[in-house]
Amino acid sequence: MFKILKPNTSSFIEAVENLSNIYIGSSVSFLDKQTSIEDFDFCIISINECRGDQSDKNEIDFEEIKIQLYQLYKGNWNLSIIDLGILDAGESISDTYYAFQSIIKKVLGYNIIPIILGGSQDILYSQYRAYDGIKYMLNLANIDAKFDLGDSNVKMHNQSFLSHMIVQKPYNLFNYANVGYQTYLNSQEEINLLEKMFFEAYRLGEVSKNIESVEPTLRDADIVALDVTSIQSQSLGQDSLYPNGFDSREICALSRYAGISDKVSSFGLYELQHLTSNISKQLIAQVIWYFIEGVKFRLDEKADINNPNFIKYQVPVENDILVFYESQLSGRWWIEISSNFKDVNNKLNQHTLLPCDKQNYISACNQNIPERWVKARKKNEF
């Protein structure tokens, strides 16, 4: 399976192996015939596929991004990383999709978290499909200025992969959440369609005003993807991308939230072919660092109504009684979605705890039903 991957250059490997043990690079191993990958915490895989990019950019300096990461100091945690090398573009783009999907499925089977450095974001479709047969009903959070909904009737590209996720079998997408969309980059028809499907979309301004507001959404995701063009061009040190977007601190905070989530099992960074400045590569390295730190500080907190660390609150709102749970361990909040709706075929067939925050509880006490709860309940009804 891993034989199709192209190894890193010998000069790059030598540079990493010469790093002091205080740097992340000292915890990195490289794939060879003697390496068994089962015992690693993370794997880093680079996908050199850009044919889905409508701008025809196709050059990615993966080793420059990775050396920036490997030269960062370790945090107060232990970790082990295997660098799997590069998956070059196949003869056809569908060849790349198939190979990448197979590799990620294999890695997930080892309970290793893949950190994906990718080209055009249509590759995310294969990251999503790798979960087929592993987990039913996935939640995907995409940090992106655009919805990338596009037209499912035309060949998939980096601005249309979401429609293919929605319409192609097996239907395995329970929730899609866009974090940081910019309204003027998305048609009103797309905005309305996401609303009709009860998916989530958070405007850039709303998230920037209160970055903590999307922590529950990232906590609820199985897959987190980042389109690097959602970062403002100033923070990337180049003027070829969007003037508005997340700044360097905000994007690192979002990455850490994704890492802290006990549920997130893969993290993809896409559209790297657009990064040309040294600052942009340093920033992406730091984004990955914050994701790794988040993972290493996970609490493995079981979101269960019978968790003894949870305090239960019942709030009458209109004709419902909303049930909230607060963790005494982490201070995080959840709201219950009961499986006992009358005449409802609940997709998850269980009492589900939906991540929320304290503000949702306070709003419910003021007779305002949380929008995330409404959308999750409606999705369960179909």
Residues 171 and 320 in one domain: no
| pLDDT value for 343 | 38
CATH number, position 156: 3.40.800.10
Residues 321 and 254 in one domain: no
Domain boundary (296, 331, 365) is at: 296
Give the rounded distance of the alpha carbon of 41 from its chain centre. Answer: 17
Pairing, β 223-227 against β 266-270: parallel
Q: What is the pLDDT of residues 211-265, one digit of tens each?
A: 999 999 999 999 999 999 999 999 999 998 999 999 999 999 999 999 999 999 9
Look at residue 331 and tell me if it is in a domain: yes
Look at residue 303 and tell me if it is in a domain: no
Look at residue 330 and tell me if it is in a domain: yes
Mean pLDDT of 321-344: 82
Look at residue 116 and tell me if it is in a domain: yes
Residues 216 and 327 in one domain: no
Look at residue 301 and tell me if it is in a domain: no
* Phi, psi values for residue 84, rounded to 5°: -80, -10
Residues 242 and 340 in one domain: no
Q: Which of 226, 161, 197, 254 has the alpha carbon at shortest distance from 381?
A: 197
Residue 348: both structure tokens together = 């998850």
Residues 274 and 350 in one domain: no
Mean pLDDT of 309-324: 94
Q: Is the pLDDT of residue 345 over 50?
A: no
Place of tokens 């003037």: 243
- Number of folded domains that form the chain: 2
Domain that holds residue 350: 310-380
What are the beta bridge partners of residue 334? 325, 355
Residues 289 and 214 in one domain: yes
Domain boundary (240, 263, 296) is at: 296
pTM of the predicted model, to two decimals?
0.95
| Higher-confidence position of 337 and 228 | 228
pLDDT band at 349 (very low <50, low <70, confident <90, very high): very low
Task: Please state, in angstroms and rounded to a whole number, the distance separating the CA atoms of residues 226 and 157.
Answer: 16
Pairing, β 200-203 against β 173-181: parallel
pLDDT band at 347 (very low <50, low <70, confident <90, very high): low
Q: Which of 7, 72, 74 has the alpha carbon at shortest distance from 35?
A: 7
Mean pLDDT of 373-378: 90
Look at residue 305 and tell me if it is in a domain: no
Residues 127 and 203 in one domain: yes
Residues 139 and 196 in one domain: yes
Look at residue 304 and tell me if it is in a domain: no
Look at residue 302 and tell me if it is in a domain: no
Pairing, β 223-227 against β 138-143: parallel
Residues 64 and 201 in one domain: yes
Place of tokens 């499912």: 152
- Per mean pLDDT, which range of 33-37, 39-43, 167-171, 273-277 is the poorest? 33-37
pLDDT band at 33 (very low <50, low <70, confident <90, very high): low
pLDDT band at 325 (very low <50, low <70, confident <90, very high): very high
Residues 158 and 89 in one domain: yes
Task: Please state, in angstroms and rounded to a whole number, the distance separating the CA atoms of residues 158 and 61.
Answer: 20
Mean pLDDT of 107-125: 97
Q: What is the DSSP letter of 298?
A: -
Which residues, in sequence order, are CB contacts of 270 under 8 Å at separation 6+? 116, 118, 119, 120, 121, 123, 124, 158, 225, 226, 227, 228
| pLDDT value for 379 | 82
Q: What is the pLDDT of residues 193-223, one digit of tens each?
A: 999 999 999 999 999 999 999 999 999 999 9
| pLDDT value for 191 | 95
Residues 325 and 268 in one domain: no
Q: What is the DSSP letter of 258?
A: H
Mean pLDDT of 348-365: 86
Secondary structure (3-state) at 138: strand
What are the beta bridge partners of residue 335? 324, 354
Residue pair 255/294 in contact by the 8 Å Cβ criterion? yes
- What is the average pLDDT value for the chain, to the nearest integer? 93
Residue 228: both structure tokens together = 């690097």
Q: What is the pLDDT of residues 63-77, one digit of tens each?
A: 999 999 999 999 999
| pLDDT value for 58 | 76
Residues 319 and 276 in one domain: no
Domain boundary (266, 296, 326) is at: 296
Task: Please state, in angstroms and rounded to a whole number, the distance separating the CA atoms of residues 351 and 189.
Answer: 34
